[in-house]
């Protein structure tokens, strides 16, 4: 009976929330976004341009290792009030990375090849983002401000031998696990440049991760004078504090990564073609390895908007 009462409350609250919206007819005819909409771009200030490899977005790296990420982030529901927009949605990815360096090229959708072991990781996140739509423009013309809170989970794996070979012992590798992430983003136009900055704080759930917390910073800058091509650069850095998990203590981790390339904008999003350089700890079941790499990749940043 208790369950039934709780369910009724949830349904009542949902009905109230929907009733407060003026219904599908609320879609504006005057170019203004509607008060409410289902499935839409995830954020006011997109994360799809980030240099972070944790940004859930369709990405393929050809060098120095083949890396394929299928992922995305979308708002499942968006509610707009005068002066405030609230989005809530879901993000996630599956990333495959060859452990060995790219040792050949061929035609096809995945041009790089490697004989290395396949490492993969998966992540999902639920988030809520709030945008004070009047505050941003009040701070500066063309500016936007957004705060996002998300609950994220990440696990890492590898593909073992198909022929009876021994498996790897990866128990000493850190486990990213579950965390709560708060980020605050700010964007502005400066002449023909669009800038987006993001400050990130991470708190990992005790006994659910090899890390305790972390901070990160994200910067995206692009030259938007052209109609078809926008040169851009993205920089990302993070520092994670190691913690103990199941009787094992893990070291800190850091990552610095920069992208430099061109964005091909469209109504659907951007195609990013970029070269990158990074230094710090790897991902997946190789987190304890510290290295520096340079390479090249391409990304389909679907759902970017509001520039």
Kindly report the CA angle at 136 between 130 and 137, in degrees rounded to 5?
140
CB of 118 vs another protein, minimal distance in Å: 17
Gyration radius of the chain over CA positions: 21
126-150 core/surface letters (b: 16 or more CB in 10 A; e: else): ebebbbbbeebeeeeeeebbbebeb
Bridge partners of 129, per DSSP, are 87, 148
CB closer to another protein, 93 vs 175 = 175
CB of 264 vs another protein, minimal distance in Å: 10
Q: What residues contact 205, with CB distance under 8 A and at least 6 apart?
A: 177, 178, 179, 180
CB closer to another protein, 34 vs 111 = 111
CB closer to another protein, 130 vs 296 = 296
CB of 287 vs another protein, minimal distance in Å: 9
Contact residues toward another protein (CB under 8 A) are 62-65, 101-102, 169, 171-174, 210, 223, 226, 229-232, 242, 244, 246-251, 260-262, 273-277, 279, 281, 288-296
Helix (H) or strand (E) segment spanning residue 8: helix 2-19
Check if the beta carbon of residue 286 is closer than 8 Å to that of residue 255. Answer: no
3-state secondary structure of 94: strand
Q: What CA–CA distance (Å, rounded) separates 151 from 128?
A: 9
CB closer to another protein, 21 vs 224 = 224
Helix (H) or strand (E) segment spanning residue 185: strand 177-190
CB closer to another protein, 87 vs 230 = 230
CB closer to another protein, 40 vs 293 = 293
């Amino acid at each position: 009976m208790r369950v039934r009462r709780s369910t009724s409350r949830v349904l009542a609250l949902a009905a109230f929330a929907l009733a407060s919206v003026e219904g599908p007819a609320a879609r504006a005819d005057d170019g203004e976004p509607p008060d409410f909409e289902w499935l839409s771009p995830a954020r006011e200030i997109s994360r799809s341009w980030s240099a972070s490899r944790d940004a859930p977005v369709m990405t393929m790296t050809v060098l120095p290792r083949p890396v394929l990420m299928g992922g995305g982030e979308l708002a499942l529901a968006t509610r707009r009030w005068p002066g405030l927009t609230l989005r809530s949605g879901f993000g996630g990815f599956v990333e495959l990375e060859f452990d060995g360096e790219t040792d050949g090229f061929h035609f096809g959708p995945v041009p790089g090849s490697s004989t290395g072991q396949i490492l993969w990781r998966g992540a999902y996140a639920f988030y809520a983002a709030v945008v004070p739509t009047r505050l941003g423009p009040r701070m500066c013309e063309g500016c936007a401000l957004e705060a996002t809170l998300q609950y994220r989970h990440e696990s890492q794996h590898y593909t073992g031998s198909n022929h009876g070979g021994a498996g790897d012992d990866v128990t000493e590798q850190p486990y990213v696990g579950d965390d709560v992430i708060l980020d605050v983003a700010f964007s502005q136009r400066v002449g023909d440049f669009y800038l987006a900055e993001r400050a990130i704080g991470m708190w990992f759930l005790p006994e659910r991760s090899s890390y305790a917390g972390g901070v990160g910073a994200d910067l995206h800058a692009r030259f938007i004078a052209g109609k078809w091509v926008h040169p851009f650069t993205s920089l990302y850095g993070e520092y994670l504090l190691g913690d103990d998990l199941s009787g094992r203590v893990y070291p800190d981790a850091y990552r610095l990564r920069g992208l430099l390339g061109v964005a091909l904008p469209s109504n659907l999003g951007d195609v990013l073609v970029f070269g990158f350089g990074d230094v710090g700890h790897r991902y997946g079941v190789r987190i304890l390895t510290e290295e520096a790499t340079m390479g090249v990749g391409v990304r389909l940043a679907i759902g970017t908007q509001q520039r």
